Amino acid sequence: MIRAGIIGGSGYTGGELLRLLLFHPHVEVTQITSRGQVGRYVHTVHPNLRGVTTLQFIHPDAVQPCDVLFLCLPHGESAAQMAHYAALAPRIVDLSADFRLNSPELYATWYGGQHPAPDWLARFVYGLPELNREAIRGATHVSGVGCNATALNLALYPLASAGLLGQASVELKVGSSEGGNSPNAGSHHPARSGAVRTYSATRHRHMAEVQMMLGADVAVRFAVTAIEMVRGVHLLAHVDLTAAQAERDIWRLYRGAYRDEPFVRLVASKSGLHRVPEPRIVAGTNYCDIGFELDADGEHLVVIAALDNLGKGAAGSAVQCMNLMHDFDETAGLTFPGIYP
């Protein structure tokens, strides 16, 4: 049994992470922090955990040494305090964007400023197990992943690796929890309810992660639109293939890439209500569902993917990485299949 701590546990990602770890067979959560909730029971902020745990929030300055620390802090804060946190635990999983990119130059390009701790960048491994498993296994410092980047990377990786990914135009529809739990003008209910609001038509920061994983020269453009949904990312990509394919070839390609992946499911049926992936089906899970439809000419492929931005797009992948880092069963604590309807 390992002892885990969560730094910044009052947000949506921290709550999702705590929920997963409380039911993990090899983990005891010994501490969880929040500057604004010190002394309060965690169920007062995360009401779904009432009766599940008696943990109370503590101040970050009171954190004691443990086996693994999960950092669920606002972007920029982890990097500013990394030396302090690294002294408290031999393994770190940082769910923010601070250590996702592998160079200070990339960080400056996409985040508009100098990295607060550039010497630490090389110590972190990008935390997407499906594409980076061997580097994560046994690593001591692992970054989180961008939820939109994860949907893109998993949806398009088989095509990119086979040299079939030509120009791709992608629309991502996302839920309100992607914006975090701090209220703002865009999350005010009268402004948010019923909205279909494109808030990043170009140059989304997660593109840096896509280029890092799929190649700097990938011809991918994507836009992000907020819709009336709480959890979830829905991806629809129009892909021009570099060579015409038959449908059986696309099936062979995706099955070959993901046959042994426990959390990637192929959903591409000819009939039924749920023929292609949809976020509602994967809410609360660590799954990414991927489907596709090939146009008659064999050169135009529509790829559809769905994941939970708080699950596979954040806390779920973080727990999956922790399992690899400690040589646990990779699926430990992550087998919840979701609920339906």
Confidence (pTM):
0.97
- Asked if 94 and 169 sit in the same domain, the reply is no
- Asked if 299 and 151 sit in the same domain, the reply is yes
Tell me, yes or no, whether 323 lies in a domain. no
Q: Which pLDDT tens digit goes with each residue over 172-189? A: 999 999 999 998 998 989
- Asked if 304 and 155 sit in the same domain, the reply is yes
- Asked if 57 and 197 sit in the same domain, the reply is no
Tell me, yes or no, whether 335 lies in a domain. no
- Asked if 98 and 151 sit in the same domain, the reply is no
72 is annotated as an active-site residue:
no
- Asked if 151 and 120 sit in the same domain, the reply is no
- Asked if 112 and 254 sit in the same domain, the reply is no
Q: Which residue type occupies 331?
A: T
Query: 184 vs 60, 83, 145, 148, CA distance in Å?
Result: 25, 32, 24, 21
Segments in the chain forming alpha helices (H): 12-22, 77-80, 82-86, 104-111, 129-136, 147-161, 189-192, 207-214, 247-258, 279-282, 316-325
Tell me, yes or no, whether 336 lies in a domain. no
Tell me, yes or no, whether 115 lies in a domain. yes
**Total structural domains within the chain:** 2
- Asked if 177 and 118 sit in the same domain, the reply is no
The pLDDT value given to residue 138: 87
Q: Which of 27, 33, 26 is nearest to 7 (CA)?
A: 33
- Asked if 155 and 217 sit in the same domain, the reply is yes
- Within 8 A by CB and 6+ apart from 341, the residues are none
Q: What gap in Å lies between CA 92 and CA 4, rounded to an integer?
A: 10
Tell me, yes or no, whether 67 lies in a domain. yes
The DSSP code sequence of 17-76 is HHHHHHT-TTEEEEEEE-TTSTTSBGGGTSGGGTTT---BEE-GGGPPP-SEEEE-PPTT
- Within 8 A by CB and 6+ apart from 177, the residues are 12, 230, 231, 309, 310
3-state secondary structure of 291: strand
Residue 303 has which token pair? 């790829």
Pick out the chain residues at pLDDT < 50.
none
Say if CB 95 and CB 315 are below 8 A apart. Answer: yes
Tell me, yes or no, whether 35 lies in a domain. yes
Q: What gap in Å lies between CA 305 and CA 325, rounded to an integer?
A: 27
The pLDDT value given to residue 49: 98
Pairing of strands 264-266, 141-143: unpaired
Tell me, yes or no, whether 134 lies in a domain. no
Tell me, yes or no, whether 316 lies in a domain. no
Q: What is the domain range of residue 240?
A: 147-309
- Asked if 119 and 157 sit in the same domain, the reply is no
Query: 291 vs 91, 204, 307, CA distance in Å?
Result: 35, 24, 12
Question: Domain containing 115 — which CATH number?
Answer: 3.40.50.720
Beta bridge partners of 238: 169, 302
Q: What is the separation, in whole angstroms, between the first and last Cα of the chain?
A: 35
> Considering 72, 147, 288, 321, which one is annotated as catalytic?
147
Residue bearing tokens 């991918």:
220
Q: What gap in Å lies between CA 215 and CA 160, rounded to an integer?
A: 8
Q: Which of 300, 308, 295, 309 is nearest to 159 (CA)?
A: 300
The pLDDT value given to residue 249: 98
